[in-house]
Structure 1
Amino acid sequence: MKRRQFLRAAGVGAAAGAIASPAIAQPMPEIKWRITSSFPKSLDTIYGASEVLAKAVSEATDGNFQIQVFAAGEIVPALQAADAVTNGTVEMCHTASYYYVGKDPTFAFGTAVPFGLNSRQQNAWFYHGGGNELLNEFYKKSNIYALPGGNTGCQMGGWFRKEIKTAADLQGIKMRVGGFAGQVMSKLGVVPQQIGGGDIYPALEKGTIDAAEWVGPADDEKLGFNKVAPFYYYPGWWEGGASLHFFINTKKWEELPKTYKSLLTTAAAQANIDMQAKYDARNPTALKRLVASGAQLRPFSQEILEACLKASKEVYAETSAKNPDFKKIYDSMSAFRSDEYLWFQIAEYTFDNFLIRSRVSNQL
């Protein structure tokens, strides 16, 4: 055979071989999971994160990996979602990690802790500061593998029946407040109550509680808190960047094909970004409507913030002294926070502060 004919024949053979390999690819297995949310369908932004994840996974697998979404109460109550994952009742859930601080205060770091990280810093710590690895090392004890699945941004400080001007005014107030913040606020005389989102309004209406925090304007408007408690305080110093998570049963996670693990991780990241984008888009108009309907915006006084910071540091020290898991993660987050604010005070804060002042003075 001549050299040119040989090369041409060899080229055709190589091309045929290259085409043949992918044709033998294995089909994607059919898998059906259930995910229980800690949130009602009416709160479509926070509940919707599960739908975003399920849709993305289904589309990426041509429907072979199906995850059916259930609202709080349809399979288990809102605050039992993590237990359902641990014991294998469902394959996964969407929840706030700090709902489970009664089991171990270390759970708080998966969502938010008083005077902790803002939302951008939270994601930076999770994805590039070792936060995910530390949390999953801890969650493994509960048969859970976790993926970040949303952020609300900095939350509001909640709705109060009466005006709160000093730290002394907090004495005796029964307040729905989630997670680790309840332990801090009890040092200031607050009586914390752990209540699921759908049960807050009736408790506030009946006077079972005197105050309640949830998320921010978009959700708070839907829940109607302004109708029973007129004073709307800010900021939610205990939730500077509250994160949600997808908790997955460890055994079920390990059984997934590598491709599906990758897809689920990517879909969770999509839901993580989508949630805060929705809140940031919806909160401004909701806040305008709330104020127009009579809500009275109030900042927490400097005295109250300083008293809360002092109480927070006391609780951190006390908890770290007796809980090695808590101390390990708190030390990591604290060091990360220090460096983050070194950076944020340079460009981010200066930029935002200038534009905020310019808007107020009608220069924008």
Structure 2
Amino acid sequence: MTTRRKFIQGAALAGPAALATPALAQNKITWRLQTYAGAALAEHVLDPAIKMFNQIAGDRMQIETYYADQIVPTGELFQAMQRGTIDAVQSDDDSMASPTEVTVFGGYFPFGSRYSLDVPVLFNQYGLNEIWAEEYAKVGVKHISAGAWDPCHFATKDPINSLEDMKGKRIFTFPTAGRFLSQFGVVPVNLPWEDIEVAVQTGELDGIAWSGITEDYTVGWADVTNYFLTNNISGAWIGHFFANMERWNELPEDLKMLFEVCCQQSHYYRQHWYWGGEARLRVHGEKLKLTTIPDAEWATVESAAREFWEEIAAESDVKRRVVDIFKQYNTDMEKAGRPYRYT
């Protein structure tokens, strides 16, 4: 009784603040976040930001990370997040089969960007953030932020030196990119991310159009392919952080802000990791031989992309809004000249 009485007296003297820390620890928020990326890639594109968040949030909140297909297949990420099986997702719209009007623009929208800086400018200065927020709010998901990843190139077992060489190639790529490339004879193949390396080794795939050269080296694809085509389909992948809307709304404002800041740090890290890596591995990498389709011939692909944009824009008013932004942005960049555009 003496010990109990002393404890109660001490707590009364210390006031409510003395009991605040244990209460927070008991009510720690735990989230599960799954990324589209496998473990080797997530080490760069996700882990540093989440480790930073967890360290700062401490006993108040922790985020558990899961890699490609660990809880659900990548194509089911949206549904799992929407129903609350997982709390947050790092992915592009296309790969996670988002049911929104903007899904077709996720990942690598053909020639939608030329450089990685194009992506944050499109979202933060040309209005794409507002459109994405509107579309995801309609389906109970919080769009947190968008960022740029690497450009999209072919890595193949056999060399590609012309458009003719693309014909019949079985290629792992994003849904929208596959839809676009099929007009050039490419055969898009959809497989789990973790199965790609073996599929190339066994001949199920002839190559990959999923990333730039940095990812090819990082995840092991440069070990099973021989050639890297320097012409790219898109200058930067458009990827995002999303959260279940109910889980997001339950967070205190400072934890929302912390998560947003850590997402921005993740975007910034990728910006320089990819930009430097793409150049360094082209110059110093020893695993892939570079090939190039001549500019005059590649212009055929660029021209087809503009027609593809109009095809997409005709599908809905929202898609028209997005395509018009892409068109205005690229017109502005071309008029701005060097270093924004060279042609």
TM-score > 0.5 by shorter chain:
yes
- Partners of 2:221 and 2:67 in 1: how far apart? 21
**Other structure's SS at 2:34 match:** strand
Task: Give the 3 Å change call, closer, same or farther, for CA 82–69 of structure 1 in structure 2.
Answer: same
8 A Cα contact 1:36 1:70, kept in partner: yes
Task: Give the 3 Å change call, closer, same or farther, for CA 191–69 of structure 1 in structure 2.
Answer: same
- Partners of 2:98 and 2:242 in 1: how far apart? 17
8 A Cα contact 2:161 2:292, kept in partner: no
1:297: Cα distance to partner? 0.3
* Partner of residue 198, structure 2: 202
State how many pairs are aligned: 321
- Partners of 1:296 and 1:187 in 2: how far apart? 26
Q: Which of 336, 346, 358 is the matching residue for 2:338?
A: 346
Q: Which of 254, 260, 285 is the matching residue for 1:259?
A: 254
Give the partner amino acid of 2:142: Y
Alignment of 1:161 onto 2:157: yes
* Partner of residue 114, structure 1: 110
- Partners of 1:80 and 1:96 in 2: how far apart? 12
8 A Cα contact 2:101 2:135, kept in partner: no
Task: Give the 3 Å change call, closer, same or farther, for CA 327–112 of structure 1 in structure 2.
Answer: same
Percent identical: 22
Flag structure 1 segments of 5+ consecutive residues without an equivalent. Answer: 1-22, 354-364
CA offsets per residue over residues 244-289 of structure 1, 9 Å max, x none? Answer: 2111111211222222221111111111101222223444444455
Give the partner amino acid of 1:53: A
- Partners of 2:124 and 2:269 in 1: how far apart? 16
1:241: Cα distance to partner? 1.6
8 A Cα contact 1:105 1:180, kept in partner: no
For residues 71-150 of structure 1, what are the structure 2 equivalents within 5 Å? 71-100=67-96, 103=99, 106-117=102-113, 118-148=115-145, 150=147
Give the partner amino acid of 1:124: V
Task: Give the 3 Å change call, closer, same or farther, for CA 289–79 of structure 1 in structure 2.
Answer: farther
* Partner of residue 231, structure 1: 227
For residues 327-342 of structure 1, what are the structure 2 equivalents within 5 Å? 327-342=320-335
- Partners of 2:322 and 2:150 in 1: how far apart? 21
Alignment of 1:275 onto 2:270: yes
* Partner of residue 171, structure 2: 175
1:73: Cα distance to partner? 2.5
Give the partner amino acid of 2:338: I
Give the partner amino acid of 2:323: Y
Per the normalisation by structure 1, the TM-score is 0.79
CA offsets per residue over residues 177-204 of structure 1, 9 Å max, x none? Answer: 2131111111122111233432211111
- Partners of 1:335 and 1:83 in 2: how far apart? 33
Give the partner amino acid of 1:270: Q
- Partners of 1:119 and 1:288 in 2: how far apart? 20
Larger Rg: 1
Alignment of 1:308 onto 2:301: yes
1:322: Cα distance to partner? 2.2
CA offsets per residue over residues 303-342 of structure 1, 9 Å max, x none? Answer: 4422222322222222221222221211122212221333
8 A Cα contact 2:32 2:87, kept in partner: yes
